[in-house]
Structure 1
Amino acid sequence: MSQRSYNQLWADAQLELGRLLNEELPAEPPRPEKDRVVFFQRLAMRYVRYIQIFRQLEKVYDQVVHPQKRRDIRAIVDGVMGRVLELKNEMVEKEYSEYHYMDDVLHVLKLVPADLEIPIPRYFISERSREIQERKAMLTEILNIEEFTGSPEPPLTEDMSQEEAIKIIQMLERARQGRQRAKLYEESKNMNRMYGRKDPGSAEIELAAVCIQKVWRGYKARVRAKAAREEEMIFLGMVMDPKYHVPCPAEITAQANEAYFRIKQEEYEEDYLKSVVAVTNQLRDVEGSDMSKTMKQQIRQWFIECRDATGSFPDYPDVEDGGSALIFAEKDPQQLREELAAKEEEESNNKPKGKEEKKEKGKKDKGKDNEEEEEAGLKMLPSAFLSDLEAESKKFSDFWKTRDESQNFSQRHEVELIKEQKRKEIETEIRLQVDEQMRQELAEWKLNKDKSGKSKGNAKKKKGSKSGKKKKKEKDLTSDRTVESLCQELVEQGLLKKADDVRLQDYLGDYNYLGTTLRQNDIEPMPSLSDVRQVLSLYAILPLGSQVVHEKAPLIKAILLVGPAGVGKKMLIHAICHESGANLFDLSPLNIAGKYPGKNGLAMMLHMVFKVARLLQPSVIWIEDAEKMFYKKVPKEEKELDPKRLKKDLLKSLKLVKGEDRVLVVGTTKDPLSADIKSLCKMYSKIILIPRPDYGSRYILWEQLIKKQGGVITRALDLSSLAKISDGYTPGHIVKAIQSVITKRRILRQANRPLIASEFVAPLAKIDPVFQEEEEALKTWYAKTPLGKKRIKAATGKEEEETPAKGKNAKKKGKK
């Protein structure tokens, strides 16, 4: 695609965004919706439409080379991303579930399940590639130094018993004898062939020829039948044409163009930054003095007008109020008199009111309460992103949409735009300097007129009243140490680790196609692995990747992943770190056992981890076996490890994490039943239940993992049967079975003996699956969490009965 095509794609996305904004920001506020199903349907529709806009804008931002356009597109991408998170949060609060099924919405919008996948912006990694590489190099260097200093001598081999040594020697001797016997057997077979040859007669030759012809004709017939069958399947669209398995020339060209545009982005960005510096210096030198003179003249004129209108000089506006920016409205003396009269009226209104006024106010308040009761229903929550999206959309329609770029074919930056932007910044800088000078000048004028200096004292009192009490800051226990030294210590202690190169797309799973149908029949479906992938993209990767989104979107500090062993919880942790470019800290109870003993040591460890996590954000703090921290009763064998030592202090440290700190705590557990559920839910605001894979996910897992291991899938391999018999097995179990079957030797023999399903049955039979009882126990446990309780109440209709009762109790309390 060309730059013109990407500009058109941007315009199309902005058009759809404008339609959505008109629906979300109508001229008149919409009435509350009483039907929960209709309200959720409206939410889901907007959610899916925002995801489509997000996908388009992310693609445009990745390929557009114009530096100034990219900045505006980035602001819109962040706004749309934040709005998606807000709608997701609202759907969770209205449906009381982390997972939502939108089969009907996809049908209405004519979309496929792949369109629901949350796109992960590529700029999370590309714009921080140097920083991420430097951190990886630093961690690798520290690990290499630790390995070198930690094990200077070669490791000693473990002592072997006599029985083990004899067993190994016997195995090797038997293997040697077997190879020798095979060799002798092959030689004797060849000798028998040589001596067993006789001169065949004419009849035997004819019979041999007929036999060969039969075999050959049968073989050719089977080949033709197979080719005809494959051709028919390709024609019917049941099998992909082999030529499409290899990237076509058009795809290769498109990939080359994308790489070329990314190189151009870096080049144009450097030119733009240089031009910004040059234009800023030029404006400051040429227009700076004129701006300063003009401002001073306007401010002096305002001083004189106020003195003529009120008889005294005004107070100079504070820096917090905008300084002299408030003066440049150029108000005449009549307007100033009206403003002063309005202030006097406000002061008189602030005086204590009489009984009659209070009664009237009480009547009005009662009337308002009745109106609110009549308009009870479901409303959209206030948004922190809609105002920004509206401003950016207006900016596009007013400026970029109608701009003629026929002369800017190469899409380089425009100097006039830089001047307009920097002129405002320079004006702000100069205004601050002018304000300081004019405050002194105003003070001199006041002293000349009134030597008492009361106004000066009042001004000081005002300033003193505005300055509130300073909040206590967290003590820095390592103020004398550098970040590098802290990182080195954390790596040496095994608390800071290197994340694996795992992408979220590698977490394979199919879409749940029956979710909406099951819920309509009052059956709660188990989420698919695709739903888990989508939820983690929204809750973890997008907020960690964007600072703007993390500050304004609903804040999520801690997530708990619950699921049986082998469902991929650890893989998801590494995928979150890889996709968002985050650092990985390990505070698992088993990992910190014996490290930093005592209360002071524990405080120092948490301080170091959270300090480095903030300085090198985004960061993920991983707690494996999170249930150990909240044990109801600590097992005897784990008492020495003291797994509950982080219980109180970690919660305190987590409370200090603010919106600007891109730090996320992620816990994983396979046995949440052994923990105190109240403490666990208090720690983790989001609890995500990861189930065993369903049939569709298992089919995809078998197919993709066999290919990844080096296997070739043919008609002889019945994947459907494998997916059926592996019900109850997790992705980890399937990986173990595939690795045990598809060895290097088996890969070499695939040409003569293709893979079949029965080969994988024996390795699977040796593994214990996740039984139905274990899954039901996890479901029952999840129903006891705050969100699970709300879900059950909403399903049974108890919530609707409780809401009016709460209103009556509130009225009684008000009367008291």
Structure 2
Amino acid sequence: MYRNEQKRRKLDEEFEQLIMDERTRLLQLRSPWIMEDISDHIRGWFAEFYAATGNFHPYPDPVKNGTVLVVIDETMDVGAFQESLTKKPLTSEEKKKIKDKKKAEKRKMKEKLKNQKMKDAKRRKKLKDAGIIDVAYSIASSKPIVNIEDTMKQFSIDWRNVDEYLNKNHGPIKAWVTEQELDVIHHELRELVDEYMRTVGPAKGDIKMVVQESMLGMSEFDIAKPKSILLVGPVNSGKKLLCNIIASELDAVFINLSPEKVCNFSQDMDMFLHIVMKVAREFQPTILYIEEAHRVFHKKIPPEEKDILPTLLAPYIQKKILKPIKKSDKIVLLGTTSLPWMAKPLLKRNFQKILLIPKCDYGTCFLLWLDLMTENAPEALENYAYSALAKIMKAYNSGDLANSVANTLSVSRKMRLKAEALDPMEFLEYFLTEMDPPLFPPEDKLMDKFNKWFGASNKFEKMRNAAMAAKMAKQKKK
């Protein structure tokens, strides 16, 4: 007995450890992709609904399990939604009548069931008095028997493909654990996705998708593309990194036209830009890059920037750079800015496509931590810590997180890893104690400022706001 008890305990511990290990593995390897799949499915559902009705379906209520309703097809269909838009709101009297009617129907149904039960009871009593037992009723009405039958059915389904003779040590079946944990993780992540969508502005994955689509014309595909793109976002939000990634993926020539580089050729700008465009055309694909492009269109030049003549390039961009770019040319002007409101409106007119880099979300932050730690110290942290770090620090900019890892995992700290285990709190201490003053995530006021500027520069945002205002005015009249 003691030996069996010891074995049972050991098997239970192994099973619990397997669940923990498998959950950690799935969170690490699958959670970002699961979140992306859920997000794509929700966006697709909204897009289909909008294409059919011209309106967006209300976001499913979190109390009713959110977008789980979309999966199980319990949201309004197109007909019901259109009817809800045209239907006038009910008065309090009409609501009371409907409520009373439902109560009456419920009462009537309850009375009908009660009468049916009484008839059945009388019939069984007559049979019992005659010495006849209704076995079918006894079995169907017995909860323990029903539970046993359900368990046996489920047992036959679960174990039909499992050969226990091959499992001599009675170890846990990993496939079942994986399936169960995936289901739990999927529900947990769907709640997170729903939360982001309700609050969603775009995520960094959306920006990546838009940039990729814009860059298709820079590859072998002969399709339309913007001549100029501006990436807008806070300092350290990953704008320059994204530009370098684009250049790397396209295997493009990267020509820096930032003010500190261009000022060296102020004596003959015409010749300088002639040579730049000639090189750009000869070595296509080519990216012409301007860092902090608001400086080129400064409203007022700061004293510390006067030496680099920041606005020197401004008069030449349209005539000497954008106009010579033909549709077939694989050349694009790519700019970044963290202070777009410091520039004149000319900034907007010189960039055909403007993209706002959003705040980091959980999925992006998780992948970032995973990549940074894999590159610097792959075995320094337990796998579960990545998820915790992503949740705690998701509001920080991606560049801030990269700096945290680089500074925390210095050469001396890496040398001490075997003797002194790494504590996830060390990364947070970098922001709060080592930085002077402490570094906090971008304030909501700053992000609101970016959103306001972006909204004023985005024609689709203007059209959307105008349509929403017209819709609200129409509803008020009704």
* 1:518-557 equivalences in 2 (<5 Å): 518=198, 525-540=200-215, 542-546=216-220, 548-549=221-222, 553-557=223-227
Question: Structure 1 pair 742/636, CA: closer, same or farther in 2 (3 Å)?
Answer: closer
Q: Which position in structure 2 is the counterpart of 1:625?
A: 292
Cα distance in structure 2, aligned partners of 1:799 and 1:631: 38
- 1:737 CA drift (Å): 1.2
Cα distance in structure 2, aligned partners of 1:623 and 1:532: 19
Q: Which range moves more in the overlay, 747-756 or 527-536?
A: 747-756
Q: Which position in structure 1 is the counterpart of 2:463?
A: 790
Q: Which position in structure 2 is the counterpart of 1:273?
A: none
Aligned mate of 1:674, from 326, 342, 353: 342
Q: Which position in structure 2 is the counterpart of 1:514?
A: 194
Cα distance in structure 2, aligned partners of 1:753 and 1:535: 44
**Which amino acid letter does the alignment assign opposite residue 319 of structure 2?**
K
After TM superposition, the score normalised by the length of structure 2 is: 0.57
* 1:225-304 equivalences in 2 (<5 Å): 236-237=177-178
- 1:557 CA drift (Å): 0.3
- 1:761 CA drift (Å): 1.8
- 1:719 CA drift (Å): 3.0
Cα distance in structure 1, aligned partners of 2:49 and 2:226: 25
Q: Does the residue aligned with 2:259 lie in a helix, a strand or coil?
A: coil
Q: Does the 8 Å contact 2:217/2:224 carry over to 1?
A: no
Give per-residue Cα distances to partners, 1:21-61, cap 9 Å, x unaligned.
xxxxxxxxxxxxxxx96585479xxxxxxxxxxxxxxxxxx
1:701 maps to 2:375? no
Q: Does the 8 Å contact 2:354/2:458 carry over to 1?
A: no
1:775 maps to 2:455? no
1:562 maps to 2:232? yes
* 1:627-706 equivalences in 2 (<5 Å): 627-653=294-320, 654-676=322-344, 678-706=345-373
Aligned mate of 2:421, from 754, 757, 760: 754
Q: Does the 8 Å contact 1:793/1:799 carry over to 2?
A: no
Q: Does the residue aligned with 1:639 lie in a helix, a strand or coil?
A: helix
Q: Does the residue aligned with 2:335 lie in a helix, a strand or coil?
A: strand
- 1:532 CA drift (Å): 1.6
Q: Does the residue aligned with 2:456 lie in a helix, a strand or coil?
A: coil
- 1:692 CA drift (Å): 2.3
- 1:633 CA drift (Å): 1.4
Cα distance in structure 2, aligned partners of 1:697 and 1:738: 16
Cα distance in structure 1, aligned partners of 2:197 and 2:388: 26
**Which amino acid letter does the alignment assign opposite residue 790 of structure 1?**
M
Consecutive unaligned residues in structure 2, runs of 5 or more = 1-45, 57-66, 73-168, 182-189
- 1:573 CA drift (Å): 1.2
Give per-residue Cα distances to partners, 1:656-686, cap 9 Å, x unaligned.
211111110000001111112x311211111
- 1:591 CA drift (Å): 1.8
Q: Does the residue aligned with 1:565 lie in a helix, a strand or coil?
A: coil
Q: Which position in structure 1 is the counterpart of 2:80?
A: none
**Which amino acid letter does the alignment assign opposite residue 513 of structure 1?**
V
- The number of residue pairs the alignment matches comes to 307
| Structure (1 or 2) with the larger CA radius of gyration | 1
Cα distance in structure 1, aligned partners of 2:414 and 2:180: 24
Cα distance in structure 2, aligned partners of 1:622 and 1:799: 43
**Which amino acid letter does the alignment assign opposite residue 219 of structure 2?**
G
Give per-residue Cα distances to partners, 1:780-814, cap 9 Å, x unaligned.
1111113232232233336998xxxxxxxxxxxxx
Give per-residue Cα distances to partners, 1:152-175, cap 9 Å, x unaligned.
xxxxxxxxxxxxxxxxxxxxxxxx
Q: Supply the RMSD in Å over aligned alpha carbons.
A: 3.7
Question: Structure 1 pair 634/746, CA: closer, same or farther in 2 (3 Å)?
Answer: closer
* 1:428-443 equivalences in 2 (<5 Å): none
Q: Does the residue aligned with 2:261 lie in a helix, a strand or coil?
A: coil
1:731 maps to 2:387? no
* 1:168-187 equivalences in 2 (<5 Å): none
Q: Does the 8 Å contact 1:624/1:667 carry over to 2?
A: yes
Cα distance in structure 2, aligned partners of 1:755 and 1:684: 45
Cα distance in structure 2, aligned partners of 1:577 and 1:711: 28
Question: Structure 1 pair 719/608, CA: closer, same or farther in 2 (3 Å)?
Answer: same
Give per-residue Cα distances to partners, 1:356-413, cap 9 Å, x unaligned.
xxxxxxxxxxxxxxxxxxxxxxxxxxxxxxxxxxxxxxxxxxxxxxxxxxxxxxxxxx
Give per-residue Cα distances to partners, 1:523-569, cap 9 Å, x unaligned.
6x2221211211111112x21112x42xxx33310000001111211
Question: Structure 1 pair 742/38, CA: closer, same or farther in 2 (3 Å)?
Answer: closer
Question: Structure 1 pair 602/40, CA: closer, same or farther in 2 (3 Å)?
Answer: farther
**Which amino acid letter does the alignment assign opposite residue 454 of structure 2?**
Y
Q: Which position in structure 2 is the counterpart of 1:118?
A: none
Cα distance in structure 2, aligned partners of 1:623 and 1:716: 39
- 1:646 CA drift (Å): 1.2
Aligned mate of 1:597, from 257, 263, 266: 266
Give per-residue Cα distances to partners, 1:283-331, cap 9 Å, x unaligned.
xxxxxxxxxxxxxxxxxxxxxxxxxxxxxxxxxxxxxxxxxxxxxxxxx
- 1:597 CA drift (Å): 2.1
Q: Does the 8 Å contact 1:589/1:625 carry over to 2?
A: no
Q: Which position in structure 2 is the counterpart of 1:54?
A: none
Give per-residue Cα distances to partners, 1:587-613, cap 9 Å, x unaligned.
0112212x2224xx1111111111111
Question: Structure 1 pair 786/693, CA: closer, same or farther in 2 (3 Å)?
Answer: closer
- 1:742 CA drift (Å): 2.1
